[in-house]
Amino acid sequence: MYNLLTIYFALILLFGVLYFIIIFSYTIGWFKLKNFKLTNRDFKTTLTVIIPARNEEENILKILNDLKKQEYPSNLFEVIIIDDHSTDNTYNIIANFIKKNNMPAFKIIRQKSDGISNTYKKNAITKGIEVSKGELIVTTDADCRVQPEWLKTIAGFYETKGCKMIVGPVAYYDESTIFEKLQSLEFLSLIAVAAGALAIDKPIMSNGANLAYEKEAFKNVDGFSKDNFSSGDDIFLMMKFRKMFGAGSIAFLKNKNSFVYTKAKKTVKEFIDQRIRWASKNRGFDINILFISVTVYFLNLLLLSGAITSIFIPTIFPLITLAFGIKLLIDIPILSGFVKFAKKTSLLFYIIPVYIFYPIYIVISGAWGITGKYKWKERKIKN
């Protein structure tokens, strides 16, 4: 038993050191990342906003009205909504909105089934790009909300920085229950890590709810070809951009007006299904991102197994508690910096329960994600 405990704590030390190096570097990146200040300018970039939508009759009008209120010149952007085989009234709601508001720059396209692929969202985005007129593609989701300055901030950043891909911040909104607030804090930690990694030219994550990239560059990397994962329209495309154009071609847009907002999951099942979907992409990661993923997973696996073991061996409880505490101290700087940026500092009140439950769902969703099986948007998916 003594030898096993020695090996166990040696592993915690090893993965803990690796984790510290990773998070510390991202923390430096985040605090070095400058806020982008949008200046008055004559915009020239044409944009195409692409929104895949499936069974979003309860949400779609919100994002359409948000896009209607954009402060970007109306002659420089279009909106293409791809109806991804909705079984509700989504298509008719969109069509009626376009007709009622007389908005020729807004288009609705019904996606046709290819009969064999389960890459539904990627197929929808590809279809939208094929008929798009904009030089910069901007993607978001049908259940999101955006601010009036959203498009002009993205365009201004693109015209200033000249990057091939822009990753924007995403946050939850209207969190009413404790469960939703816990999700919100944990989600902000993921976005913070993504931003910090991009700041040091080590991109590891992006989010399709707030993503922009050059249409020509999308074509150059051959889009989503050879990508059979149903999820990952963001990260796998980012990997292709990094490989062809270099890590410096991808940038994080640090501006409060560029936030895209979405809703937290209402039930534990919905939350777990979402995280299994995210975890199922791990098998397609390159060695750099996979190393980060494995480090995070095994550190949490070790912490969880240690917490369970301490029930039967109480003498190791203080050491396990210390390990949890050290991990918390490692994470606090970048997390607190990002929640302040997102104007959600009150969520830090929930940091302890998040750190208690985080290893549990990480271990479960990560293991389940390996199977590549999950349910999403009323579809049973197997990667």
Q: In what order do the strands lie in the sheet with 170-172?
A: 145-146, 260-262, 170-172
What is the total count of domains within the chain? 2
- The CA distance from 264 to 230, in Å, is 21
Confidence tier at 371 by pLDDT (50, 70, 90): low
Task: Please tell me the predicted confidence (pLDDT) of residue 226.
Answer: 75
- pLDDT tens figures, 15-36: 999 999 999 999 999 999 999 9
- Cα separations in angstroms, 364 against 72, 231, 283: 44, 19, 16
Q: Is residue 145 part of a domain?
A: yes
Q: Is residue 196 part of a domain?
A: no
- In a shared domain, residues 249 and 368: no
- In a shared domain, residues 117 and 242: yes
Number of other residues whose CB lies within 10 A of the CB of residue 360 = 13
- pLDDT tens figures, 325-366: 999 999 999 999 999 999 999 999 999 999 999 999 899 888
349 token code pair: 């009140």
Amino acid of residue 215: K
- The CA distance from 108 to 101, in Å, is 14
CATH number at 99 reads 3.90.550.10
- In a shared domain, residues 234 and 338: no
Task: Domain of residue 374: give its range.
Answer: 2-30+286-382
Instruction: Evaluate if residue 207 carries a pLDDT over 70.
Output: yes
- In a shared domain, residues 147 and 249: yes
The residue ranges of DSSP E strands in the chain, in sequence order, are 47-53, 77-83, 106-110, 136-139, 145-146, 165-167, 170-172, 211-214, 250-252, 260-262, 373-376, 379-382
Q: Is residue 274 part of a domain?
A: no
Least confident of 135-149, 201-215, 225-239: 225-239
- pLDDT tens figures, 240-298: 999 999 999 999 999 999 999 999 999 988 888 888 887 777 777 888 888 999 999 99
Among residues 129, 303, 278, the alpha carbon closest in space to that of 204 is found at: 278
- In a shared domain, residues 63 and 161: yes
- In a shared domain, residues 254 and 290: no
- In a shared domain, residues 58 and 136: yes
Task: Please tell me the predicted confidence (pLDDT) of residue 379.
Answer: 61
- In a shared domain, residues 20 and 152: no
Q: Is residue 276 part of a domain?
A: no
Question: Strands 165-167 and 250-252: what pairing?
Answer: parallel
Q: Is residue 241 part of a domain?
A: yes
Task: Please tell me the predicted confidence (pLDDT) of residue 39.
Answer: 87
Task: Please tell me the predicted confidence (pLDDT) of residue 247.
Answer: 94
Confidence tier at 180 by pLDDT (50, 70, 90): very high
- Cα separations in angstroms, 135 against 109, 164, 226: 20, 11, 24
- In a shared domain, residues 305 and 251: no
Q: Is residue 45 part of a domain?
A: yes
- In a shared domain, residues 14 and 55: no
Helix axes 2-32, 287-312, angle to 10 degrees: 130
- The CA distance from 42 to 223, in Å, is 30
Confidence tier at 119 by pLDDT (50, 70, 90): confident
Instruction: Evaluate if residue 232 carries a pLDDT over 80.
Output: no
Q: Is residue 197 part of a domain?
A: no
- In a shared domain, residues 111 and 144: yes
Q: Is residue 90 part of a domain?
A: yes
- In a shared domain, residues 110 and 232: yes
